[in-house]
Amino acid sequence: MSPDHPFDQAISLTAVDDDTYAGQVSEPYWNSISPYGGITVATVLNALLLHPRRLGDPLALTVNFAGAIRKAPFSIRVRAARTGRSTQHWQMELHQDGDPQPLLTGTAVFAVARDTWADTEAVMPACPPPEAVQRAQPPLVIPFLQRYDMRYVDCTPFAANAHSTTQCWLADVPPRRLDFPSLAAFCDSFIPRLFVRMGAPRQVSTVTLGINFHVGAASLAEESSPFVFTRTRANAFNRGFYDQEALLWSASGALLATTQQVVWYRD
């Protein structure tokens, strides 16, 4: 948390009551015609993190983008649907302009961790450190892209490719220590897989995004590098929708999150 960082300003919320939070769409994280989806996901997660009855750390999060969010105030309503001994289930909605139909729906699971046998099968690929890789200059003038330092490793995202896999280092601009909201935002930051295949931008829009967190708050707070390493790919492009999945590791090699999304597209 750095109060002056544009990310912290963008996800800041005011509690209206226990289950309602008021926010304002961020200019620095604006996309071409709507807010950057990652900042919206981070803001919704922040509402849960701020909630006085929140249990433990985020374990899983699903956010569905149901309608276009406008550059205007919004409210986030959350409900603790059921709280057990080790898990807590949340439902979330985002509204604007008093419209009873939500522009975003979601669910989340928070959990209390326990000491158990542990193993990570998804080991971070060998790669040069971020200092050894050049920062990519995105070809589009999109505000939110200026808020990320992306350093691609062994891939050429801005040319047509036979496969959609990209690997890159990723950090906030200016550099910021990792936390759950920034990780959640990272999960939507990857260049759309359709652009990687086509070698050029197309019309795309995220329909739904899921995140599984594999790290606790204490471990995450110990990561000193602002960079995460990410591997991202698509499984299929089909009849107007494609998927995207990614893994995110800390610079120290810990698996932090896995994420998947479905994207509407025009070719």
Cβ–Cβ under 8 Å, residues 109 and 59: yes
CA dist 257 and 59 (Å) reads 9
Q: Does 253 interact with a copy of itself (rule: CB under 8 A)?
A: no
Nearest distance from C-beta of residue 61 to a copy of itself, angstroms: 9
CA dist 233 and 86 (Å) reads 33
199-235 burial string, b = 16+ CB within 10 Å, else e?
eeeeebebebbbbebbbbeeebeebebbbbbbbbbbe
Quick count: other Cβ atoms within 10 Å of Cβ 134?
Answer: 7
Cβ–Cβ under 8 Å, residues 124 and 257: no
Q: Phi, psi at residue 146, to the nearest 5°?
A: -70, -15
Q: Give the interface segment with a copy of itself, choosing from 8-16, 78-86, 151-159, 221-229 (CB under 8 A).
A: 78-86
Nearest distance from C-beta of residue 55 to a copy of itself, angstroms: 13
Nearest distance from C-beta of residue 49 to a copy of itself, angstroms: 18
Answer for which of 47, 69, 183, 234 binds a copy of itself (CB under 8 A) is 234
Strand partners, 170: 150, 228
Nearest distance from C-beta of residue 141 to a copy of itself, angstroms: 26
One character per residue 188-207, x = contact with a copy of itself (rule: CB under 8 A): ---------x---------x
Is the CB of 3 or the CB of 117 nearer to a copy of itself? 117
Cβ–Cβ under 8 Å, residues 34 and 94: no
Nearest distance from C-beta of residue 245 to a copy of itself, angstroms: 8
Site for a copy of itself in 104-143 (CB under 8 A): 105-107, 109, 111, 113-122
Site for a copy of itself in 213-232 (CB under 8 A): 214-216
User: Which sign, positive or negative, has the C-alpha torsion 177, 178, 181, 185?
Assistant: positive
Answer for which of 49, 50, 60, 136 binds a copy of itself (CB under 8 A) is 60
CA dist 87 and 59 (Å) reads 9
Q: Which positions touch a copy of itself (CB under 8 A)?
A: 59-60, 62, 64, 66-67, 81-82, 84, 86-87, 89, 91, 93, 101-103, 105-107, 109, 111, 113-122, 163-164, 197, 207-208, 210, 212, 214-216, 233-241, 243, 245, 247, 255, 258, 260, 262, 264-267
